[in-house]
Amino acid sequence: MSTQREFDHPPTAGGADAPQLARRQFLRRAGLGAGALAALGASAPHGGAQSTVAMQLLTTTLREISTHYFSGAPDDIVEGQRYLSHLLGAACEFYLEGDALRPYFVRMVSPVRKFLGDNPDAIYHFSLIDGQRDYRIRGQRTGQEYIAYTVHGSDAEDGDWNIPGIAHINHRKLRPSNRYGEYELFLGPTPRPGHNWLRTEPQARYIVCRHYYENRISAAADPAVQPILSIEPLPAPAAQDDPLPDAEIARRLYAVIKFLRASTIDMQRSTPDWWSNIPNTLGKIAHFGANQDDIGLGALDNSYTAGSYVLAPDQVLLMTGHMPPCYFANVVLWNRFLQTDDYRHQQISLNRTQMRLGKDSSYRIAIGSHNPRPTHWDWLDTGNRPFGIIQWRFLLAVGAIETPQLQLATVAEVAGGMIPTARTRPAEAPVQAPVQETDPTETTPTNSVNLSTQEPTVRP
């Protein structure tokens, strides 16, 4: 019986055959006889050619992104390397281990993996699918303000996430199976009379599930919040070949490469209409999906506004407005790479439960690296970051949505109660939220009923 010490120190030998000799000696110690070793050597002495080429291209791509995508600013380079590592981890789970024939839901972002605009008040899941196959999703409503499934599809290459949503359903149109909020959703081209069903087209590539919460502790930071969720293919597939063929691993690695490039070097540089390019202002609120250029991972039921902040160390940005009736709303701070800071230990987002809303549904939020603690104001912590991004989302809003107003002040002014009243620019007219019942982006089962009869509210 071999000891652990023998495995800790694998044998070495000189010459060109040293790695193969070491491998064979290790396998003999693991209990493989000479016949098995001969068969192993005969079956694939030079195997893995395609996957090796793909892996080499992956390392080249990582080097290219690391060297050329990030700016020359030291902080930007440092954050960029971390961002790239988060992308790589996600890409491997989504595309290297993902399989549309044997799907499973992967948690997209978390407190330790962030990309493409993560949200502390939401938990997102991703799975590859094949639009020509059928699936069954099981879930349960356990305190979520909102649940939605969006199918994305196009003729783009595997790994290209920046593709439009082509089918969508939310919790208002899911029929529960029982009084505990459990439900089944069938996904695929085959009609399912009498059941919740989301029809897919042949070009469907992946599905995203969203669970939004308005808890005192942000859901993504709370280990007790774990959505109940599963997906299974119908019918069940045959057992998977193990190990996977060389060509299949190569194909999946190329999808990983595509995802990395689509999230960095090949990402579109244009900004949406609801994104302001003027520092310390926010864009005019717009419903995602209303513009044909709205592609990617935005929620089809959300209305968004966003813009950048630029602050000196002694400055604070004051944000005011009124909350519309809606199912969910929050504001989040991101870095340049659309990543939140550590929301487990830093207040970088606020949902309605966390805000001190006025009786008229008004909110007042101070943004800066130092909390001046003005009376009846909430605070978002920039963490000594002089530049970043502010993003609001209003979900299934009813009526007009007022664009939040921003104004600069000094920490001393705010701490002393001398809050200026001048705005950075004239207030814009509120934007009318779309009528959700006629939203063409929703695919509605004709026999479905609401999972909840709760109406959108403004919380006092």
* Strand order from edge to edge, sheet including 362-368: 378-381, 362-368, 315-322, 405-410
Distance between CA atoms of residues 282 and 367, nearest Å: 14
Do residues 117 and 88 make contact, with C-beta atoms less than 8 angstroms apart? no
pLDDT of residue 272: 86
Distance between CA atoms of residues 99 and 350, nearest Å: 36
User: What is the chain's Cα-based Rg?
Assistant: 26
Closest CA to 249 of 42, 39, 45, 49: 49
Dihedral, 231, 227, 456, 275 alpha carbons, nearest 10: -80
Do residues 332 and 365 make contact, with C-beta atoms less than 8 angstroms apart? no
Distance between CA atoms of residues 227 and 223, nearest Å: 11
Token match 């200026």: residue?
420
At residue 216, what is the residue type? Answer: R
Domains of the chain (ranges plus CATH)? 1-35 (no CATH), 53-262 (2.60.120), 286-438 (2.60.120.1600)
The model's pTM is 0.84
Q: Which two tokens stand for residue 118?
A: 């993560």
**Residues 6+ positions from 454 with CB-CB distance below 8 Å:** none
Do residues 155 and 203 make contact, with C-beta atoms less than 8 angstroms apart? yes
Alpha helices in 385-430 (DSSP H): 411-415
Do residues 308 and 388 make contact, with C-beta atoms less than 8 angstroms apart? yes
pLDDT of residue 370: 86
Q: Looking at residue 94, what DSSP letter applies?
A: I
Hey, which bits of 51-191 come out as E strands?
106-107, 122-128, 134-140, 146-153, 165-170, 182-188
* Residue pLDDT tens, the chain, 460 long: 444 443 344 444 445 444 444 444 544 444 444 454 344 444 444 567 999 999 999 999 999 999 999 887 888 899 999 999 999 999 999 999 999 999 999 999 999 999 999 999 999 999 999 999 999 999 999 999 999 999 999 888 889 888 889 999 999 999 999 999 999 999 999 999 999 999 999 999 999 999 999 999 999 999 999 999 999 999 999 888 788 999 999 999 999 999 999 999 998 777 888 999 999 999 999 998 755 455 567 888 999 999 999 999 999 999 999 999 999 999 999 999 999 999 999 999 999 999 999 999 999 999 999 888 877 899 999 998 999 999 999 999 999 999 999 999 999 888 877 776 544 444 455 666 665 543 333 333 322 223 333 445 544 3
Do residues 231 and 157 make contact, with C-beta atoms less than 8 angstroms apart? no
Is the CA virtual torsion 189, 203, 303, 143 positive or negative?
positive
pLDDT of residue 415: 82
Do residues 93 and 124 make contact, with C-beta atoms less than 8 angstroms apart? no
Could you count the other beta carbons within 10 Å of the beta carbon of residue 344?
13
